[in-house]
Amino acid sequence: MCGIVGYIGKQVAIPILVEGLKKLEYRGYDSAGVAVLDTEGISVSKSVGKLVALEEEIGENFSQSCIGIGHTRWATHGRPSQVNAHPHGDCGQDFVVVHNGIIENYLELKDQLLEKGHHFASETDTEVLAHLVEDAYAGDLEAAVRKVLEVIHGSFAIVVLSRKDPDKLVAARKDSPMVVGLGTGEFFVASDITAILNHTRKVYILDDGEMVVLTEAGVNISDFAGNPRVKEIMDVKWDAVAAEKGGYEHFMLKEIHEQPRALRDTMLGRLEEERVVLQEVDLTPEELAQINKVYIVACGTAWHAGLVGKTLIERWAHLPVEVDIASEFRYRSPLIDEHTLVVVVSQSGETADTLAALREAKNRGARVIAVTNVVGSTVSREAHDVIFTWAGPEIAVASTKAYTTQLEGMVLLGLYLAQVKRTLSSAKIREIIGDLKKVPAQVQEILDQESILRDLAKSFVDVEDTFFLGRSLDWAVAMEGALKMKEISYIHAEAYAAGELKHGTLALVTEQTPVLALATQRDVFDKTVSNIKEVKARDAKVFGLTYKGNTSLAKSVDQVIYVPETRDELAPLLTVIPLQLLAYYVSVARGCDVDKPRNLAKSVTVE
């Protein structure tokens, strides 16, 4: 991840590549690079940090080549560094590759290539692609790339440049976006329309499983097997700002819709049929046997993910878990020693309070696992073990895809601990993994019906207060739903464990107070319905959220929102999606600044 741009034509390539990469800066990145092909071979320039550093690296006397590729990187495999930046080359620098996504089986492929004598320079999964092309090349770059596509697993958008086939670029995509721009005697390839909008508004949108060969004469699109594909040209009418948002009105909505991809990426390479593979975590059965308590420490949305993690770890791994707000954790003298496992959760990996809690835990001898979205962040460097969430950059202040991938990280950790401790059978783990793999498609199913939430938002536009209710894992998600509502719509929203209503909260419920009640947890469903009836008795309008097929809830609420059926432990991954959409559409209807709510910042780096 994160941004790709390629060019072939009659203009000098480097200014076009750098300009395109600048248009992709909004996506976030930690390093960047370009590669061009001239008479002396392939010339690669790479740097860490912002594009101004790359421009300094390139210098003023740059190559006049008319073909090249560029990339801005959001680190996944390997820390941010010049050597890990894209493009990546093979042993002889005959082939270079840029890549968005994750190659799931890169370690297996790397071992095979090492046995054949290949030498690797970086820590990345992407470098494997360049060596695979080198290994497969027999005089035809297109054929070599097709052979590579047969053996790699995962998500990818790739572009290949070769000095052995100097007049073409070859690109392919699976589960990662890619567009082809059409000019006059010049052609472009990019991960985002934004990168090429200054040069052309006529594009092909590649679909999964498609490959394109670009030359000065034109473009040829086929499937991975070589069968030609006929595509319709899309005439882009968006302005530059809309293009950054992929045509969505706001970054938040775009990021809500990116969640199926983010969830797929986060589980890539980590799920086998009956086991979870977390290469970044190395807890032996003997070490885990010494652990007698778990703390999950986080702030805000990440803390809500931790509340879900508590239930999963206790239920699956049979370990007692406490969930702490990081800003309180180190000031209450927590009982931590070498028998404690501390899990810190932070989207940015730089949250000041969470980082302070991590250091306090380490000073007291605890084992620390970090769950974070940013490779190379302080939290990821200082923790003993890391579970990276592959959400990609998140621009909107209100977290959406970072939260759901944190939830998935908690699922993976809970299963991993149960696997090591042998508290779940292989058959049970297989069942859960099977259900987890269905989640991205189920999230998409909810997104396809977002008009229901857009209409529902009308019931919240003019209210001043609203409540979110639930029990067990539904309560944890209710807290996240309330946070989303309050932070972007400025409506006072509170979440309560449904059984606590009678202990004071019912005094605030009136017919002007809409209530959203989550009811997916089967073991407490009847009790949740009883609590809903208490609210209805106070004339509140109640909106219920439950699984498809559950017709009984409709008898107790004014309207039901349905999500696909899954096992209760995975329900938070689905039930939060309608709550995100509801908060978004209420905020839009109230005329709020969705992406930049007042008084808030994306990353909280002070106490």
Residues marked active site are found at: 2, 602
Nearest Cα neighbor of 581 from 429, 416, 454 is 454
- Answer for the pair 256, 580: CB distance below 8 angstroms, yes or no: yes
Nearest Cα neighbor of 481 from 272, 269, 307 is 307
- Listed in sequence order, the residues at least 6 apart from 353 whose beta carbon sits closer than 8 Å to its beta carbon are 299, 325, 326, 327, 329, 604, 607
Only one residue has tokens 């202040």, namely: 397
How far apart (Å, rounded) are the C-alpha atoms in residues 145 and 173? 12
Residue 271 is given by DSSP the state B
- Listed in sequence order, the residues at least 6 apart from 491 whose beta carbon sits closer than 8 Å to its beta carbon are 460, 463, 464, 465, 466, 485, 586, 590
Q: Tell me if residue 587 falls in helix, strand or coil.
A: helix
- Listed in sequence order, the residues at least 6 apart from 449 whose beta carbon sits closer than 8 Å to its beta carbon are none
What tokens does 269 get? 């390479």
**Edge-to-edge strands of the sheet including 385-388?**
321-325, 293-298, 340-346, 367-372, 385-388
What tokens does 400 get? 């959406």
Terminal alpha carbon distance of the chain: 31
- Listed in sequence order, the residues at least 6 apart from 47 whose beta carbon sits closer than 8 Å to its beta carbon are 31, 32, 33, 53, 54, 56, 57, 82, 85
- Listed in sequence order, the residues at least 6 apart from 381 whose beta carbon sits closer than 8 Å to its beta carbon are 79
What tokens does 459 get? 């019931």
